[in-house]
């Protein structure tokens, strides 16, 4: 599984990176993403709903002065 560290990146960069990577992986594969931009929750949810990807995991975790967001998105 490919992993993407988008910590420190702000909208729209995480979304653009994830979209590009999802296009380049074969069906059935997944990508794990770590981010700290709160807008990624909305962005990745809409990405999955609008383009048919599957959100296999989504969790948040406090970390120092920020919240980290973890996602696993699968290409059907």
Active site residues: 11
* 65 SS3 class: coil
Q: Which residue has the tokens 């993403």?
A: 33
Question: Where is 60: in which H helix or E strand?
Answer: strand 54-63
- Residue of 10, 23, 3, 9 lying closest to 71 (CA atoms): 3
């Amino acid at each position: 599984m490919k992993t993407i560290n988008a910590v420190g990146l702000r909208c729209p960069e995480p979304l653009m990176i994830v979209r590009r990577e999802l296009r380049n992986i074969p069906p059935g594969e997944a990508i794990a993403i770590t981010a700290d931009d709160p807008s990624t929750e909305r962005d990745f949810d809409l990405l999955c709903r609008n383009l048919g990807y599957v959100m296999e995991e989504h969790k948040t975790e406090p970390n120092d002065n920020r919240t980290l967001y973890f996602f696993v998105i699968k290409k059907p």
